[in-house]
Structure 1
Amino acid sequence: MAETTLHIAGRVYDLRCRDGEEAHLAHLANLIERKARLAQQNTPGLTEVRTLLFAALFLADELNDLKREAIGRQQTLALESGDEPAARALESLATRIEKLRERLVAASPEA
């Protein structure tokens, strides 16, 4: 197991992860950090917990939009072309997005 340090919303989080996943977790932490800064800019005076809550909500909203878009595209492609390989590719994309959501949840500071 590898160890990495993440910086999110002014705090430092030491985490263990699989070997080689340090850069990926740092990237995810950067996404969360950007959303946390956005929350703090839009609503000054947020507590740490509320900052992270809003960051999580922003990310969940984006993920939800991407899932809806992927499903919509999948349905459109299936209706327009009957192209089974394209439909499978979109389904695979939706699965990857769901796995990303699970990783975000697993990498959250409370995990």
Structure 2
Amino acid sequence: MGQVTIRVGGYSHPVACQDGQEEHLQRMASEVDRRVGALRAMGMQFGEARMLLLAALQLADETSDLREELEALKAGRPVAATAERTAADPRLAEWLNRLAERIEGIAAALEAP
């Protein structure tokens, strides 16, 4: 079992993970830290727990939107917002597909006994 110390919002947290997942965990922590930093930059001055909650809610909202888009794509329904964005940036479609695959992998891992 691997262990890394991540730094989010100026605080260090030791976290255990599966061997080989340390870099992935660091990238996820960096994203949370980026969001906490953005909240602070907007002038929000809450304690660590509140900032982490707000960052988690942002991530959950984004994940929910992506899951809805993924389900629409799987069902063959057009996703207008995605179509408009991919027309502006063709790399976005590729990125969304990779992200959808990662989300499915994470969901499968969470559902596994």
Q: Same fold (TM over 0.5)?
A: yes
Residue 45 of structure 2 aligns to a residue whose secondary structure is: coil
Identity of aligned pairs, percent?
Answer: 30
Greater length-normalized contact order (CA 8 Å, ≥ 6 residues apart): 1
TM-score between both structures, scaled by the size of structure 2:
0.67
Task: Supply the RMSD in Å over aligned alpha carbons.
Answer: 2.4
The residue correspondences of 1:82-97 to structure 2 (distance < 5 A) are 93=101, 95-96=104-105
Structure 2 spans left out of the alignment, 5+ residues: 78-99
The residue correspondences of 1:21-32 to structure 2 (distance < 5 A) are 21-32=21-32
Q: In 2, distance between residues paired with 1:99 and 1:39?
A: 31
- The structure 1 segments of at least 4 consecutive aligned residues displaced by more than 6 Å after TM superposition are none
1:89 aligned partner = none
Aligned residues: 88
Structure 1 spans left out of the alignment, 5+ residues: 78-91, 103-111
2:90 aligned partner = none
More displaced, 60-69 or 43-52? 43-52
Deviation track 1:67-92 (CA, whole Å, cap 9, x = no partner) reads 01001111126xxxxxxxxxxxxxx8
Tell me if 1:73 matches 2:73: yes
